[in-house]
Chains A and B, each alone.
Chain A
Amino acid sequence: MNTFSKYKLQRQIGMVLTYAGIGVALIFFLFPFVWILTTSLKGNEDYFTFPPVWIPMEPSLVHYYRLFTHGNGWLYFKNSLAISSLSMLAALLFSVPTAYSIARFRFGGSLFSNFLLLLRTMPAIALVIPIYVLYSKLGMTNNYFGLILLYTVFYIPFAVWLMIGFIRDVPKEIEEAALIDGCSRLQALLRVVIPIIVPGLAVVALFAFITTWNEFLFAVILTGSETKTMMVLVASYTSGSPTDTFYGEASASVVLGIIPAFFVAFALQRYLVKGLALGAVKG
Chain B
Amino acid sequence: MSIARHQIIRLGVFVMALSMLMGNMATQHGEAAKPYEGTTVKVIVNAEFVKYAMTLIEKELFDKHGIKLEVEVIPGEAFVTKTLLEFTSGRSPWDLIMFTPTYMADYFRHFEPLEPFIKKLNLRLDLDDIAKEYQISNMYWGGTLYAMPLDGDIHTMFYNKVAFERPENKQKFKEKYGYDLAPPQTWKQWDDQAAFFTGWGWDGSDHKLFGAGASYKENNFSFNWWRQRFFVYGGQYFDENMKPLLNTKPGIRALQEMVDTIQYYPPGVLLFEAEEPKTMLIKGEVPMLVSWTSTGKRVGDPNQSLIVDKAGFGMLPGHQVDGKIIRASPNTGGRSWAISKYSKVKDATAVVLEFVSSPEQSLKIVMDPKTIMDPWRNSHFTSEQFRSAFPGAGEYLDSIKESFGQTVPGVLIPGGSEYQLRIAEMVSRALQKSMTPKEALDQAVEEWDKITKRRGLKKQQELWLQQMAAMKETGVTFRPELADK
Verify if A232 is at the interface (C-beta below 8 Å from B): yes
> In the complex, A137→B48 CA distance in Å?
29
- Which of B52, B75, B76 lies at the interface centre, i.e. has the most chain A CB atoms within 10 A of its CB? B75
Contact yes or no, B48 A246, CB < 8 A = yes
Q: Please tell me which one of the listed residues B78, B89, B370 contacts residue A221 in the complex, with CB atoms under 8 A apart.
A: B78
Contact yes or no, B276 A136, CB < 8 A = no
Q: Please tell me which one of the listed residues A129, A237, A238, A244 contacts residue B276 in the complex, with CB atoms under 8 A apart.
A: A244
Contact yes or no, B48 A240, CB < 8 A = yes
> In the complex, A21→B244 CA distance in Å?
60
Verify if B368 is at the interface (C-beta below 8 Å from A): no
Verify if B302 is at the interface (C-beta below 8 Å from A): no
In the complex, how many residues of chain B place their beta carbon closer than 8 angstroms to a beta carbon of chain A? 28
Identify the closest chain A residue to B81 (Cβ): A221
Contact yes or no, A240 B82, CB < 8 A = no
Contact yes or no, B75 A236, CB < 8 A = yes
Given A136-B85, A239-B75, A244-B276: A224 in contact with B48 (beta carbons within 8 A)? no
Residues of B near A142 (CB, < 8 A) are 93
> In the complex, A132→B303 CA distance in Å?
44
Contact yes or no, A239 B76, CB < 8 A = yes
Contact yes or no, A241 B275, CB < 8 A = yes
> In the complex, A238→B55 CA distance in Å?
21
Identify the closest chain A residue to B43 (Cβ): A225
> In the complex, A96→B42 CA distance in Å?
43
Contact yes or no, A240 B91, CB < 8 A = no
Verify if B72 is at the interface (C-beta below 8 Å from A): yes
Contact yes or no, B89 A239, CB < 8 A = no
Verify if B447 is at the interface (C-beta below 8 Å from A): no
Verify if A179 is at the interface (C-beta below 8 Å from B): no
Verify if A71 is at the interface (C-beta below 8 Å from B): yes
Verify if A245 is at the interface (C-beta below 8 Å from B): yes
- Which of B52, B82, B372 lies at the interface centre, i.e. has the most chain A CB atoms within 10 A of its CB? B82
Verify if B126 is at the interface (C-beta below 8 Å from A): no
Report the 10 A-B pairs with minimum CB-CB distance, sorted nearest first.
Answer: A236-B75, A225-B72, A241-B275, A220-B78, A136-B89, A239-B76, A244-B279, A240-B49, A132-B85, A244-B275
Verify if B435 is at the interface (C-beta below 8 Å from A): no
Contact yes or no, B75 A220, CB < 8 A = yes
Residues of B near A241 (CB, < 8 A) are 273, 275-276, 279
Give A26 Cβ to nearest chain B Cβ, in Å: 31
Residues of B near A70 (CB, < 8 A) are 52, 55
Verify if B389 is at the interface (C-beta below 8 Å from A): no
Verify if B470 is at the interface (C-beta below 8 Å from A): no
Residues of B near A221 (CB, < 8 A) are 78, 81-82, 85
Contact yes or no, B72 A224, CB < 8 A = yes
Contact code string B29-50 (vs A, CB < 8 Å = 1, else 0):
0000000000000100001110
Q: Which of B48-91 contact A (CB under 8 A)?
A: 48-49, 52, 55, 70, 72-76, 78, 81-82, 85-86, 89, 91
> In the complex, A222→B202 CA distance in Å?
52
> In the complex, A44→B304 CA distance in Å?
10
